[in-house]
Each structure stands twice: as structure tokens, then as C-alpha cells.
């Protein structure tokens, strides 16, 4: 099963590209022009990210360089050990439901210190990818139709985020074995 999914990981991108191009061609979509049209908006999307990433990268860098992050990690360690979550990803997990860019900034710090292909690097990647920014979605979705009483939606979102973190740990454990001691 792991081998199958690992192979799928390697093949999914080339396969998906081929399937989309061939389907488009068969259905008489002008694939080249359609691609260029869509790709145009990528530049703007990435540029719009700049102010957000600057704001978050600076804050997260300060938080990390000052030693405050180590402090938080240290305080949370006993609880996290009990939950089997590596303490190093705790700040990221806490920020994930609140700010996607913020947790992305934490993720890059893990990439920098441990490498993207390390156990923790894979875990950080999975955590970032496996969930969405709960608070943002709740605000935007409910805000758009003027719902004030959101009932249990926030509780469900945050609990599911916790499950997502635990599931990410499990998934990386399943694929890569236990976290190597460092």
C-alpha cells in the first residue's frame, strides 16, 4: 500500500498533466491558448502574496530568532509528547487554522533548519497541505451571506484541524517510519 502511494506520488503530476492536455485536445479546447490565458493570472496571484508573506516572515523570524519559539515549544512539550506530535511543529500547527501564510512561514523555518526532505520537513509539508485556514473560511463564507449565528461550525473546524495534525503525523510515520532521533 505504501509502495503504491509512493509510486502514485511520483507519477501523479506527469499523469495529471497528460490527462488534462489530452482531454482538452480531444474535446477541441485550444489547449495552448487556454493554458496561456490561465497562467497569466499566476503572476498577479504570487505578487499579491508578497505583502502578506513579508509581514508574516518578519514576525515569525523575530519570534524564532529571539528564542521565544523555543520557549513555547519547551512549555508545550509534555502535552505534545502525550499526543505524539513532535514539539518542533507545534507553533506551525497552532497557527495553521488562523493564518495560512503564517504557518507557511514556520514551515520554511523547518525547511531551513532540518531540510524539506527530513522527517520533520515532510511532516511540516503535510500539515500545511492537508488542512485549510479554518478561521478565514468561516469568516468569508458566513460573512458573504450575513450569517451571525454560526452554531457549532467553529468547533467542528478546529477539532478537525487537530485531527488533521494527528493524521499528518500518522501519515508521515506510516510512510517514513518513526522519527529519527537527532
Partner 1 sequence: MIDVIWLLLFVSGVVTALATGRVDGVSKAIIGGAETGVELSIGLISVISFWLGLMSIAERAGIVNGLARILKPVGTFLYPSVPPDHPAMGAILMNMSANLLGVGNAATPLGLKAMAELQKLNPTQDTASDAMCTLLAVNTASITLIPTTVIAVRMQYGSANPTAIVGTTIVATAMGTLAAVVLDRWFRVWSRRGER
Could you say which residues in the range 90-149 bind partner 1, by CB under 8 A? 95, 97-99, 102, 104-105, 107-108, 111-112, 115-117, 121-122, 125-135, 137-138, 140-142, 144-149
Burial class (CB in 10 A: 0-12, 13-18, 19+), 31: middle
Long-range CB contacts (< 8 A, 24+ apart) of 64-69? 64/109
Select from 74, 81, 84, 155 the one that contacts partner 1 (CB under 8 A). Answer: 155
Instruction: List binders of partner 1 among 66-95 (CB under 8 A).
Output: 66-68, 71, 95
Distance of closest approach, residue 55 Cβ to partner 1, in angstroms: 7
45 binds partner 1 (CB under 8 A): yes
Give dist(CA 102, CA 105) in Å, integer.
5
What lies within 8 Å, CB to CB, of 130 at 6+ separation is 164, 167, 168, 171
Select from 78, 88, 119, 174 the one that contacts partner 1 (CB under 8 A). Answer: 174
9 binds partner 1 (CB under 8 A): yes
47 binds partner 1 (CB under 8 A): yes
Judged by CB, which is closer to partner 1: 81, or 174? 174
Burial class (CB in 10 A: 0-12, 13-18, 19+), 128: buried
Judged by CB, which is closer to partner 1: 171, or 179? 171
Amino acid at each position: 500500500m505504501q509502495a503504491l502511494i509512493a509510486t502514485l506520488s511520483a507519477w501523479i503530476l506527469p499523469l495529471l498533466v497528460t490527462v488534462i492536455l489530452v482531454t482538452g485536445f480531444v474535446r477541441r479546447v485550444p489547449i495552448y491558448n487556454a493554458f496561456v490565458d490561465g497562467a497569466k493570472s499566476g503572476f498577479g496571484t504570487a505578487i499579491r502574496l508578497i505583502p502578506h508573506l513579508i509581514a508574516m516572515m518578519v514576525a515569525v523570524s523575530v519570534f524564532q530568532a529571539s528564542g521565544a519559539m523555543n520557549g513555547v515549544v519547551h512549555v508545550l512539550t509534555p502535552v505534545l509528547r502525550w499526543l505524539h506530535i513532535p514539539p518542533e511543529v507545534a507553533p506551525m500547527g497552532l497557527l495553521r487554522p488562523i493564518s495560512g501564510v503564517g504557518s507557511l512561514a514556520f514551515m520554511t523555518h523547518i525547511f531551513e533548519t532540518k531540510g524539506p526532505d527530513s522527517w520533520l520537513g515532510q511532516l511540516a509539508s503535510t500539515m500545511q497541505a492537508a488542512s485549510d485556514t479554518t478561521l478565514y473560511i468561516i469568516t468569508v463564507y458566513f460573512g458573504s451571506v450575513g450569517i451571525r449565528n454560526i452554531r457549532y461550525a467553529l468547533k467542528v473546524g478546529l477539532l478537525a484541524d487537530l485531527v488533521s495534525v494527528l493524521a499528518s503525523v500518522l501519515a508521515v510515520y506510516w510512510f517514513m517510519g518513526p522519527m529519527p532521533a537527532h
